[in-house]
């Protein structure tokens, strides 16, 4: 297990290098003088020269890349052109907000999706199976912004149960420690705020969970159907094991690997920031942050955002790969 983990982590190095090269190239993909493009038509010569110097654009590209990498290794993501602040400090609250939303959404998607898939496979061709699969089909085809708006309309405006937008009560803001508000409120023992923060999370996370949930349910059902026809499932039944354990122990463990892959990919996608959902629900996440940066042509922020999202993707895939080995002992023996 340890050698596998080390080998798997080492194999990430070329991936990470490739990633930084691509992100680094973005600024050079701008036609003409990047400083000119960033600053716009009315920029003076001096400001352009200053920005060129700030971005290090007068150096040869390999020196620039080397500087970029060494800054990255020191945790320096550069300076935002818009706010003049260091990006590595600025980005965290947005990232934390997205992480909080994503984790809650994925938990909802996994719990409901996996179980719906299992029960559909267990009682295949039953009314539950048909209903769940119709819902799943609707779920993957539903535009998420429409679902978000409908949720707001029904639960916030008509019923008044949940807040429409934001993360917290603006009149009683959360004192942030980690910027993950569910955690922060608990750490401070503010259960009243915890409840409010949780209420703010329900609608956006439910909207965000819809598509992954549907995909996970369909995937689980398909692999479970296959596994439940296998010989070892018949053996488990022949032992006199309860159907519940046959399904949730013997079948699920065998069926979960392809599902895990899907969960990993979906988590990566959501962590990349769901711009539409974050916009509709006024959620100050990484998607919103990048969207604003793009509007302002804040290239260092765009670069950093892409890098962070890509790194998260790689990290999640690493975790998924390591989980494979924990689940299936045969994997580490095959090269």
Partner 1 sequence: MKNEPILQIQDLKVSFQSGKKFLPAVDGISFELREGEILGIVGESGSGKSVTSLAAMGLIPIPPGKIENGEIIFDGKDLKNISEKEWRKIRGNQISMIFQEPMTSLNPLFTIGNQLMEAIRLHTKFSKTEAIARSIELLKLVGIPRAEGILKEYPHQLSGGMRQRVMIAMAMACNPRVLIADEPTTALDVTIQAQILALMKELNQKTNTSIILITHDLGVVAEICERVIVMYAGQVVEQGDVRTILKNPQHPYTKGLLKSVPNLKEKKERLYSIPGTVPTPGSILQGCRFAARCTEVFERCRLDAPDLYNLEKDGHEVRCFLHTLKEGRDEHVGVTS
Residue with tokens 């439940």: 228
CB of 214 or CB of 228, closer to partner 1? 228
Interaxial angle between packed helices 299-327 and 286-295, expressed in degrees from 0 to 180 and rounded to the nearest 10: 150
Burial of 293 (0-12, 13-18, 19+ CB in 10 A): buried
Among 231, 244, 295, 335, binds partner 1 (CB under 8 A): 231
Cβ proximity of 133 and 117 under 8 Å: no
Burial of 158 (0-12, 13-18, 19+ CB in 10 A): exposed
Among 137, 235, 292, 319, binds partner 1 (CB under 8 A): 235
CB of 241 or CB of 276, closer to partner 1? 241
Q: Tell me the closest approach of the beta carbon of residue 134 to partner 1, in angstroms.
A: 22
> Half-sphere exposure (CA, 13 Å, Cβ side) for 33?
17
Name residues whose C-beta falls within 8 Å of residue 156's C-beta, 6 or more positions apart in sequence: 162, 163, 164, 203
- Per-residue mark of binding to partner 1, 48-87 (x: CB under 8 A): ----------------------------------------
Span of 25-33, 147-155, 237-245, 290-298 interacting with partner 1 by CB under 8 A: 237-245
Span of 58-66, 141-149, 191-199, 233-241 interacting with partner 1 by CB under 8 A: 233-241
Q: Tell me the closest approach of the beta carbon of residue 249 to partner 1, in angstroms.
A: 8
Q: Tell me the closest approach of the beta carbon of residue 121 to partner 1, in angstroms.
A: 14
Q: Tell me the closest approach of the beta carbon of residue 238 to partner 1, in angstroms.
A: 5
100, 56, 104, 305: which is closest to 207 by C-alpha?
Answer: 104
Name residues whose C-beta falls within 8 Å of residue 291's C-beta, 6 or more positions apart in sequence: 275, 279
Cβ proximity of 252 and 61 under 8 Å: no
C-alpha–C-alpha distance, residues 70 and 333, integer Å = 37
Token pair recorded at residue 144? 């998420």
Q: Tell me the closest approach of the beta carbon of residue 221 to partner 1, in angstroms.
A: 18
Task: Look at the chain and count its residues.
Answer: 335
C-alpha–C-alpha distance, residues 244 and 139, integer Å = 27
Span of 31-39, 229-237, 299-307, 316-324 interacting with partner 1 by CB under 8 A: 229-237
Among 7, 28, 53, 239, binds partner 1 (CB under 8 A): 239
Question: In angstroms, what is the C-alpha Rg of the chain?
Answer: 24
123 binds partner 1 (CB under 8 A): no
Among 236, 270, 302, 312, binds partner 1 (CB under 8 A): 236
Footprint on residues 241-270 left by partner 1 (CB under 8 A): 241-243, 250, 253-254
Footprint on residues 304-333 left by partner 1 (CB under 8 A): 327-330, 333
Cβ proximity of 249 and 327 under 8 Å: no
CB of 160 or CB of 240, closer to partner 1? 240
* Binding residues with partner 1: total (CB under 8 A): 21
* Residues engaged in binding partner 1 (CB under 8 A): 230-232, 234-243, 250, 253-254, 327-330, 333
């Amino acid at each position: 297990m340890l050698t596998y983990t080390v080998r798997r982590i080492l194999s990430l190095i070329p991936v990470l290098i490739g990633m930084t090269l691509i992100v680094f190239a973005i600024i050079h993909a701008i036609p003409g003088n990047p400083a000119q493009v960033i600053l716009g038509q009315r920029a003076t010569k001096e400001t352009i020269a200053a920005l060129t110097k700030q971005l290090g654009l007068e150096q040869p590209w390999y020196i620039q890349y080397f500087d970029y990498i060494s800054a990255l290794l020191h945790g320096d993501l550069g300076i935002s052109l818009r706010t003049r602040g260091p990006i590595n400090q600025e980005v965290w609250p947005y990232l934390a907000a997205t992480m909080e939303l994503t984790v809650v959404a994925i938990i909802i998607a996994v719990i409901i999706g996996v179980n719906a898939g299992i029960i559909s496979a267990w009682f295949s061709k039953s009314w539950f199976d048909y209903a769940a699969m119709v819902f799943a089909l609707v779920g993957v085809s539903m535009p998420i912004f429409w679902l978000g708006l409908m949720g707001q309309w029904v639960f916030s405006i008509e019923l008044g149960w949940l807040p429409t937008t934001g993360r917290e009560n603006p009149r009683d803001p959360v004192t942030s420690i980690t910027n993950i508000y569910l955690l922060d409120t608990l750490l401070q023992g503010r259960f009243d705020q915890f409840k409010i923060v949780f209420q703010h999370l329900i609608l956006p996370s439910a909207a965000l969970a819809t598509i992954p949930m549907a995909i996970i349910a369909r995937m689980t059902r398909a692999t479970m159907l296959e596994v439940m026809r296998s010989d070892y499932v018949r053996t488990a039944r022949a032992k006199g094991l309860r159907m519940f354990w046959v399904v949730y122990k013997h079948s699920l463990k065998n069926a979960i690997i392809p599902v895990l892959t899907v969960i990993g990919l979906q988590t990566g996608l959501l962590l990349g920031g769901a711009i539409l959902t974050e916009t509709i629900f006024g959620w100050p996440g990484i998607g919103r942050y990048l969207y604003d940066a793009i509007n302002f042509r804040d290239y260092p922020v765009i670069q950093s955002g892409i890098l962070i999202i890509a790194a998260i993707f790689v990290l999640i895939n690493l975790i998924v790969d390591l989980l494979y080995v924990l689940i299936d002992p045969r994997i580490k023996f095959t090269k």
